[in-house]
Structure 1
Amino acid sequence: MNTQQTHRSQQPHRPHQARNALGRYGEDLAARRLTEVGMTVLERNWRCGRSGEIDIVARDGDALVVCEVKTRRGGCYEHPMAAVTPEKAERLRGLAERWIQSHGGAPPGGVRIDLVGVLLPDRGAPVVEHARGVA
């Protein structure tokens, strides 16, 4: 191994890369939980230009579910379930409308916005909480 390769492999990960990996892991756990409770995951990380992204789009019976996923490490000050502000809820409603428009209209059961909070403690298994109809 040459010195350039050694130097590159010893560089620390950039913070945004670690945050992205944490988010992906949390979304994987959230998708698994939604599937376990009988929901069907239709799409993940759906982007709508500059308007933002829906973490998970799922079907729960005849309802469409737009799911926001928040993942936090143990020791963080904010619990993941406290992350949906009124502004965030409004943005999610707008993204849900855009998703519906681009996918053929509203389902008969309407649209619901859920939140999945994933807490990764320093020790032990992740804690996954699913709150239905948060916005």
Structure 2
Amino acid sequence: MTNRTAVSAPEEDSAGKPRKSKKGSSRQKNMHNKDLGRKGEEAAARFLVRRGYDIIERNWTCIAGEADIIALDEDTLVFVEVKTRSSAANGLPGEAITKEKRTRYEKIACLYLEHSEVSDAPVRFDVISITLIGPDRAFVRHHIDAFGVGW
């Protein structure tokens, strides 16, 4: 006697090719986005260090959320949001910074300052937008004081 297990054939698209599982492709896309985000944050940190910033924290987490990078620019405490995109097809990375995200970042800064030894330092919010333009090339834009008037 042979044990047999029924296996359903993969669904096919209109061209007769096997259709990919939505669950798998969603999981792969999520992993791709996380990997892309990590690489973007690493590139942003290197970018800031080359410009003389001192990185204090990376991925600092609190109840309000996460600050990608917290750095010192001379005597100014800078909270940096990093946005990375694999292309500009769906918009530029900086366009993803909403009013809600700005408000959340301000809460994160308040909570950080409550638990930090930093005192009496000016605070600034920057955004680093990274758009890939090739396998080893990216367009980096540093929005200094991004939450200031006019943002």
Please give the TM-score of this superposition, normalised by the length of structure 1. 0.83
CA distance in 1, matches of 2:47, 2:136: 18
Instruction: Describe the superposition over 1:35-92 as per-residue Cα deviations: whole angstroms up to 9, x where unpaired.
Output: 111101111001103x210000000000100000000011432201212111111110
Aligned to 2:146: 134
Kept in 2, the 8 Å contact 1:71–1:117? The answer is yes
Aligned to 1:7: none
Structure with more helix by fraction: 1
Q: Say which SS state the counterpart of residue 97 (structure 2) adopts.
A: coil
CA distance 1:37–1:105, shift in 2 (3 Å): closer
List aligned pairs for 1:19-38, cutoff 5 A: 19-38=33-52
- Unmatched 5+ stretches in structure 1: 1-10
| C-alpha deviation, 1:14, in angstroms | 2.5
Q: Which amino acid aligns with 1:65?
A: V
Aligned to 1:4: none
CA distance in 2, matches of 1:58, 1:105: 12
Kept in 1, the 8 Å contact 2:88–2:131? The answer is no
Moved over 4 A (4+): none
Say which of 59, 62, 84 aligns to 1:45.
59
Could you tell me the percent identity over the aligned residues? 34
Between the two proteins, the alignment pairs up a number of residues equal to 123
Which protein is bigger by CA-based radius of gyration? 2
Q: 2:133 aligned with 1:125, yes or no?
A: no
CA distance in 2, matches of 1:45, 1:56: 6
Aligned to 1:15: 29
For structure 1, which segment, 56-65 or 68-77, has the greater mean C-alpha deviation from structure 2 after superposition? Answer: 68-77
| C-alpha deviation, 1:99, in angstroms | 0.7
Say which of 67, 84, 87 aligns to 1:54.
67
Q: Say which SS state the counterpart of residue 47 (structure 1) adopts.
A: strand
- Unmatched 5+ stretches in structure 2: 1-23
Aligned to 2:15: none
Aligned to 1:88: 101
CA distance in 2, matches of 1:39, 1:80: 22
Q: Say which SS state the counterpart of residue 133 (structure 1) adopts.
A: coil
